[in-house]
Amino acid sequence: MFKEICQKYAPHKDNLIQILHEIQDTDPQHYISSEAVDTVAEYLQIPANHIYGVLTFYTMYSTKPRGKNIIRLCESPPCYIKGSENILRKLKVLLGVNVGETTKDGQFTLELCACLGVCGNAPVMMINEDVYGDLTEEKVEEIIDKIRGNRK
C-alpha cells in the first residue's frame, strides 16, 4: 500500500512531504509507521534518518498510532486569551486522557497546536478535517457526545 502511494509521485526528494501527508491521511490510525518510512526511503533513495528528521520537525505528522478522531486544540495567543485553557481542561476530563494520548477505545487523540488560522472564532479546535469555533465548555461536550453517538 505504501509503495502504491509513493508511485503516484515522481521519485524525487521534493515530493517527500506530500507522500508523507498521503500515507498518514490514508492510514486508519493516522500515523507514519517505520515500515512506511523504509518504503519511502527506498523509493526516494534517501536515508531513513532524513525522513525521521522531517517527520519529527513538522507538527502535523505522527510516528505513533493515533485515534480515529484527532482533536487539535489551538493554544496560541488569540485562543488562549479567549479561554482555550478551560477548553483543554474540559477535554481532558471528558476524554480521560492527557495531551498526546489516545483514549482506550481508540476513538480520540488529544493534541495541541499553534494556530489553525480561524482566529476570528477563537477558541478553536479541529477534529480531523472539521473546524469548530467559538468553543465553550458546553459546546465541547455536545461535540464529543455527538461524535461518540455517531460511532456507536
Partner 1 sequence: MKYYRSHILVSVNETSLAAGVLDFISALRNELAKNDLSEEINVLETGPLGFFGRGICLTVYPENINYEDVTIEDIPELVQEHFLKGRPVKHLMVGVSEKFNPKFNYENRIVLRNSGIIDPENIDDYIGAGGYEGLEKALTQMKPVDVITEVKKSGLKGRGGAAFPTGLKWSFTSVLNVPQKYVVVNADEGEPGTFKDRLIMEGDPHQLLEGIMLCAYAVGASKAYIYIRGEYKLCIARLENAIRQAYQYGILGKNIFESGFNLDIEIKIGAGAYVCGEETALIESLEGNRGNPRWKPPFPGVEGLWKSPTVVNNVETLANVPFIIAKGADEYLKYGTKECPGTKVYTILGDVAYPGLCEVDMGSTLRTIINDYAGGMRKGFRFKAALVGGAAGVILPDRLLDVKMDFTSLNQYSAVLGSGAILVLNEHQSIVDLLWSILRFFRHESCGKCSPCKNGTQQLYQLMSKIRKGNGTMEDVDLMLLIAETMQQTSFCALGQSPIMPIRSAIENFPDEFIAITKK
Q: Which is nearer to partner 1, 21 or 106 (CB)?
A: 21
Instruction: List binders of partner 1 among 118-137 (CB under 8 A).
Output: 118-122, 126, 129-134
Q: Which is nearer to partner 1, 77 or 96 (CB)?
A: 77
66 binds partner 1 (CB under 8 A): no
* DSSP string over 47-94: -HHHHHHHHHHSTT--SS---SEEEEEE-SHHHHHTTHHHHHHHHHHH
Give the one residue of 4, 28, 117, 138 binding partner 1; rule: CB under 8 A. Answer: 117
78/19 Cα distance (integer angstroms): 32
- Residue 140 makes CB contacts below 8 A (sequence gap 6+) with 87, 90, 91, 94, 125
Residue 10 beta carbon to partner 1: minimum distance, rounded to whole angstroms? 12
137/17 Cα distance (integer angstroms): 36
139 binds partner 1 (CB under 8 A): no
What is the binding site for partner 1 (CB under 8 A)? Answer: 12-18, 20-21, 44, 46, 50, 53-54, 57-61, 75-78, 80-82, 113-122, 126, 129-134
